[in-house]
Amino acid sequence: MKRLWMVLVVGIGLLSPAMAQDPPQIVVFDSSIVFDKSQQGEVLKAEIERLRDRKVQLISERQDGLASMQEEFRNKELTFNDDTRSEMLQTINQAQIELKRLNDDAQRELQAEFNRAQQKLQKQLIQVVEALGQEGNYTLIVEKGLTLYSSAEVDITDRVLAKFDEMYPNTAGSGGGQ
């Protein structure tokens, strides 16, 4: 019987350090909120929006020019000789092709800029989450979109956002790769 008590006492003694450790801390965060609301995210969104606005303006100017050519052609079509009519139709056709190409190029450029900005934010977010994980002694930090369920008590999105802005404050003008 003494032996049994001794084994129990030793066993409890061995378990004590394991029981004294904190339980695993698993938390989640929403990266889309961090991207949308962080200072860095705001700067990058503004840069992309300025690029989009420039492209829209250029495309609009070209559309207006094409519309003018088409209107002129419709108004004077009956007065043109065959050669002039053919040249004008060819010019209009070429302008339509250039407009489509300009639009396609603008879409590709905007998508490339968006992808570049998103990659930059993701790299920064990884560093932020690693730093926050070490500071908060978290066992596991998971992107909220990858979970089926998580309670609001384990959501640290606000802390991730604050840490992101602390590590990467507003850096207007330094992120533009244009």
Bridge partner residues of 28 (DSSP): 142, 155
For the chain, helix, strand, coil in percent to 5 are 80, 5, 15
22-167: what fold?
A: Protein Binding, DinI Protein; Chain A (3.30.910)
Query: pLDDT > 90: what percent of the chain?
Result: 74
Amino acid at residue number 174: S
DSSP state of 145: G
Structure tokens at 167: 């590590």
Amino acid at residue number 62: R
Contacts 24+ apart (CB under 8 A), 97-106: 98/62, 99/59, 99/62, 99/63, 99/66, 102/58, 102/59, 102/62, 103/59, 106/55, 106/58, 106/59
- Between strands 26-29 and 140-143, the pairing is parallel
pLDDT of residue 170: 79
Sign of torsion over alpha carbons 64, 66, 67, 72: positive
DSSP state of 163: H
Q: Supply the pTM of this predicted model.
A: 0.71
Please write the tens of the pLDDT for every residue from 124-153: 999 999 999 999 999 999 999 999 999 999
* Nearest-angstrom CA–CA distance, 143 and 160: 11
The average confidence (pLDDT) of the chain is 85
Please write the tens of the pLDDT for every residue from 105-123: 999 999 999 999 999 999 9
H helices of 82-178, where? 82-136, 157-167
Least-confidence region, from 53-57, 105-109, 170-174:
170-174
Do residues 160 and 33 make contact, with C-beta atoms less than 8 angstroms apart?
Answer: no
